[in-house]
Amino acid sequence: MSNIKQTIIAAAVAVASTASTQADGLSDSLPLGKSLAAGVELPLSLGVSANVFFMEQDMAAQSISIDIPPLALPTGPVELPPGLPATAENLESRATSTTAKLDAWLLPFLNVYGVAGYVDGETVASGFSVNGLPPAMASLLPNSFSIAYSGPIYGAGITLAAGYNQYFALLDANYTESDLDIGESTIEAFVVSPRIGITGNLGDLEGSLYVGAMYQDIDENQNGTVNFPIMGQAVPVGYNVISEAENKWNYLVGANLKISESWNYGIEVGFSDRTHAMATLNYRF
């Protein structure tokens, strides 16, 4: 996975180093309606970024079912029906995505962008039990299991911006999909993030600080096979887990540092019932 992440970041930097000579005409013509900015200094209109995003949160299981193959128990062979309903007291998700982002300011207050990259993560179900099993059978099953996954991620979004003197407000919305490497598993996410902040200087450094919140509507559909330790053996058990984010909102703080007219660095952390951390390297032209 580290090689894939390094490739994404290297590709973003490579695009940044060559794009300015290939897109001067487009960059000069954007954003449209520059007069709407009323003399406010605008950022360079085109940008490419490398982003690393880590998130940890609890999920709410909408349904869990498993397929246990025939078992040879000391009391005799047992064959169970497929799609046995199950429950989990806690469902926790941890994921890291590494993406490249290409954006453009079409209007002084409207930025549009596309993202593509890779995600890898893990879902852990604890307090796990299968409904309707005899106690002797239920005691053979583990009370927790984990699902590791990875796959490509892609999507698009928009950002609305407004400013007054050194103060600014942003509203970002994006939609992404991930096709995972287990079964026909997918993750769909719709994210909205309002932010307010202030720009300024600290010595020779120029940048901004901001606070805000993040709303995430995440739907995960994971299905595949996981090995359960049963009577000292690794038994392949099929699963189908459909879940959504348990807590849709969290709070965030962040900072951006402007190294030059073209280069910017950013870091953001989120807290409350869901936690996240994001680092960004952005080149504008």
Note the pLDDT of residue 51: 98
- The label of the residue with tokens 């849709």 reads 248
Supply the CATH classification number for the domain 2-284.
2.40.128
Three-state SS annotation for 175-209 = EEEEECCCCCCEEEEEEEEEEEEEEEEECCEEEEE
The rounded radius of gyration (Å) of the Cα atoms in the chain is 24
Per-residue pLDDT, averaged over 94-99, amounts to 98
Least Cα distance to 144 among 251, 239, 9 occurs for: 239
| CA 194 – CA 170 distance, rounded (Å) | 6
Per-residue pLDDT, averaged over 131-144, amounts to 86
Dihedral sign of CA atoms 281, 111, 189, 185 in order: negative
| CA 222 – CA 228 distance, rounded (Å) | 17
134's CB contacts (< 8 A; 6+ apart) are: none
Least Cα distance to 127 among 150, 111, 144 occurs for: 144
Assigned token pair, 202: 């600290």
Is residue 26 over pLDDT 70?
Answer: no
Question: Where do the structural domains in the chain lie, given as residue ranges?
Answer: 2-284
Note the pLDDT of residue 2: 58
Dihedral sign of CA atoms 44, 50, 56, 61 in order: positive
| CA 54 – CA 278 distance, rounded (Å) | 6
pLDDT in tens, 141-171: 999 999 999 999 999 999 999 998 899 999 9
Is residue 19 over pLDDT 70?
Answer: no
pLDDT in tens, 193-214: 999 999 999 888 899 999 999 9
31-35, 59-63, 224-228, 279-283: the lowest-pLDDT one: 31-35
